[in-house]
């Protein structure tokens, strides 16, 4: 993060250029807001997209005080690019940058894992036994992938025995691509794509993986030799109602067998068998001919066994264990025990007003996406600064989230929506209809969203 006084890093040049561009325009934005004097100690736990955005924003807005960023990793991963890697469109190197490119000067970067949060005593415990006291805390830890909740499954299995999972890691995404290719090269077989029973980051990713694989299957010239199943643990495929109906219809048109209320509960890698627990009404279960009934599980729910040649596993997700074990976890409601307990509009913790949450870790009905971080960061910035100054919190997050839903390699839909009006569309560009598949939406995904993401990390957007 330290640079020679006689040279400018690429990020500094970008920031300077962005600042010059912005100041040259006769438009006052929140990025031009005044600095605030403070002696507050602010700790940001997690240096992913949301944590890094907050570090840059607060470093710009605060004069005095200390900002500490707890982030153990040297490499920053552009996770929205992992579906592109797993689909064979991007190489993995394109998605990685040094974290040092984004960490602002003047903050304390602690390269340690966080191990615990003592909210009563305003302390963050680190993995090395040390602790950090804070006056204000930003929880931006991201979420945890709970592969262990699927019997027989672990991230190490990704890439083996026909198992893929775009979420596991950049290496996992790369191995997923190889697993898909290996399956298609066989010329026939069954592929199963799954969804998780919990909120997930990038809820569109399981669908994107299905659609891009369908493109590759069709390009092979032997589409009819392949069976493709999509197993959803609920009755739906996507939270936005119009998109949900669209995807269902498109899956039907492209010959995808939709199975609803099927939750992946176990996997036997050696036998290439997956067990699904039926989560619907027992009476409504009709086991398809290409699957077979298993034994009822310990809760008395029926199970179904499926043989596969390729399976895309989407693990259940939650806040990291050390957040779940803290007093910051939701105590009741739909996010009880699983997600950070914040007001989804102000981003302030419901019981600890000096704590704010941002990004994937928060309990919210939607918006575990990078685009949501772009919308949440200015709200957290404004409200945290109001809290520091003893003012009422006036900034509100409307739940904005965006999914450039890839519906095939080379085309996508720019789906943007928020909390209100049953997840009504919130298009950023009046000339791009969220209901249209378009080349332009694909170009945004392929070329523009990654630069936008880095601008968000730098606190410039």
Partner 1 sequence: MTFTGAMTILMYALAPFAWLIAGGVAIFLAIHLFAYLRGYQFSQHHSIVAMLLALALGLSALFWIPWFTNSELGYVDTVFDWVAIIGGVIATMVITFFTVHPLSYLLIEKRE
Please provide the DSSP assignment of 389-441 as one string. TTPPP-------EEEEEEEETTEEEEEEE-SHHHH-B--S-TTS-TTS-BHHH
CB of 459 to partner 1, least distance (A): 11
Instruction: Classify strands 310-312 and 163-164 as parallel, antiparallel or unpaired.
Output: parallel
Give the whole-angstrom CA distance, residue 460 versus residue 53: 9
Q: Is 33 in the site for partner 1 (CB under 8 A)?
A: no
For residue 412, count other CB atoms closer than 10 A to its CB: 26
Q: Please count the residues of this chain forming the interface with partner 1, following the rule CB under 8 A.
A: 37
Catalytic residue among 114, 202, 373, 413: 202
Q: Is 25 in the site for partner 1 (CB under 8 A)?
A: yes
Catalytic residue among 126, 200, 371, 403: 403
Q: Which is nearer to partner 1, 12 or 154 (CB)?
A: 12
* Binds partner 1 by CB under 8 A, chosen from 39, 121, 390, 431: 431
CB of 437 to partner 1, least distance (A): 7
Please provide the DSSP assignment of 218-263 as one string. HHHT-GGGEEEEEEESSS-S-SSHHHHHHHHHHHHHTTEEEEESEE
Q: Is 21 in the site for partner 1 (CB under 8 A)?
A: yes
Q: Is 432 in the site for partner 1 (CB under 8 A)?
A: yes
Helices (H), 302-369: 321-324
Q: Is 17 in the site for partner 1 (CB under 8 A)?
A: yes
Q: Which is nearer to partner 1, 138 or 414 (CB)?
A: 414
Q: Which of 320, 393, 390, 391 is nearest to 356 (CA)?
A: 393
Sequence-distant (≥ 6) Cβ neighbours of residue 298 within 8 angstroms = none
* Binds partner 1 by CB under 8 A, chosen from 3, 29, 245, 420: 29
For residue 130, count other CB atoms closer than 10 A to its CB: 11
| 355 flagged as catalytic | no
Q: Where does residue 228 rank: exposed (0-12), middle (13-18), buried (19+ CB within 10 A)?
A: buried
Q: Which is nearer to partner 1, 21 or 249 (CB)?
A: 21
CB of 400 to partner 1, least distance (A): 11
Instruction: Classify strands 292-293 and 303-307 as parallel, antiparallel or unpaired.
Output: antiparallel
CB 461 within 8 A of CB 19: no
| 202 flagged as catalytic | yes
Residues 356-415 that bind partner 1 (CB under 8 A): 408-411
For the chain, give the number of residues.
461
Q: Is 148 in the site for partner 1 (CB under 8 A)?
A: no
Stretch that binds partner 1, among 25-33, 65-73, 235-243, 391-399 (CB under 8 A): 25-33
Q: Which is nearer to partner 1, 259 or 374 (CB)?
A: 374
3-state secondary structure of 282: helix
Q: Is 36 in the site for partner 1 (CB under 8 A)?
A: no
* Binds partner 1 by CB under 8 A, chosen from 22, 36, 285, 287: 22
Residues in touch with partner 1 (CB under 8 A)? 10, 13-14, 17-18, 21-22, 25, 27, 29, 31, 89, 408-411, 428-429, 431-433, 436-440, 442-443, 446-448, 451-452, 454-455, 460-461
Q: Which residues are catalytic?
A: 202, 403
């Amino acid at each position: 993060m330290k640079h020679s006084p006689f040279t400018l890093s690429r990020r500094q040049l970008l920031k300077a250029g962005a600042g010059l561009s912005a100041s040259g325009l006769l438009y006052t934005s929140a990025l031009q807001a005044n600095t605030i004097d403070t002696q507050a100690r602010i700790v940001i736990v997690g240096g992913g997209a949301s944590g890094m955005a907050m570090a840059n924003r607060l470093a710009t807005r605060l004069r005095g005080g200390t900002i500490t960023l707890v982030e153990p990793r040297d490499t920053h991963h552009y996770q929205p690019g992992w579906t592109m890697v797993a689909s064979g469109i991007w190489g993995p190197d394109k998605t990685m940058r040094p974290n040092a490119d984004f960490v602002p000067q003047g903050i304390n970067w602690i390269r340690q894992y966080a191990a615990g949060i003592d909210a009563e005593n305003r302390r963050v415990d680190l993995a090395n036994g040390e602790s950090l006291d804070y006056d204000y805390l930003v929880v931006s830890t991201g979420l945890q992938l709970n592969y262990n909740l699927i019997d027989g499954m672990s991230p190490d299995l990704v890439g083996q025995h026909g198992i893929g999972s775009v979420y596991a890691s950049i290496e996992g995404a790369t191995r997923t691509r190889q697993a898909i290719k290996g399956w298609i090269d066989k010329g026939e077989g069954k592929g199963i794509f799954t969804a998780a029973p919990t909120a997930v980051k990038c809820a569109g990713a399981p669908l994107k993986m299905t659609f891009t694989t369908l493109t590759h299957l069709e390009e092979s010239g032997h589409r009819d030799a392949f069976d493709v199943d999509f197993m959803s643990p609920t009755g739906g495929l996507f939270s936005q109602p119009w998109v949900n109906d669209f995807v269902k219809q498109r899956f039907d048109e492209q010959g995808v067998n939709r199975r609803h209320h099927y939750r992946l509960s176990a996997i036997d890698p050696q036998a290439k068998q997956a067990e699904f627990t039926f989560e619907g009404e027992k009476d409504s279960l009709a086991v398809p001919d290409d699957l077979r009934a298993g034994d009822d599980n310990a809760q008395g729910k029926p199970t179904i066994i499926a043989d596969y040649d390729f399976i895309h596993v989407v693990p259940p997700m939650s806040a990291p264990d050390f957040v779940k074990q803290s007093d910051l976890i939701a105590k009741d409601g739909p996010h009880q025990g699983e997600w950070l307990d914040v007001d989804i509009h102000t981003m302030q913790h419901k019981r600890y007003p000096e704590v704010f949450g941002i990004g994937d870790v928060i309990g919210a009905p939607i918006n575990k996406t990078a685009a949501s971080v772009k919308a949440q960061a200015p709200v957290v910035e404004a409200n945290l600064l109001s809290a520091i100054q003893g003012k009422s919190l006036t900034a509100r997050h409307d739940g904005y989230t965006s999914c450039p839903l890839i519906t095939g390699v080379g085309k996508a839909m720019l789906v943007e929506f928020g909390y209100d009006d049953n997840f009504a569309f919130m298009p950023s560009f009046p000339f791009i209809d969220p209901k249209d598949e378009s080349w332009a939406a694909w170009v945004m995904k392929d070329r523009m969203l990654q630069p936008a993401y880095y601008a968000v990390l730098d606190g410039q957007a």
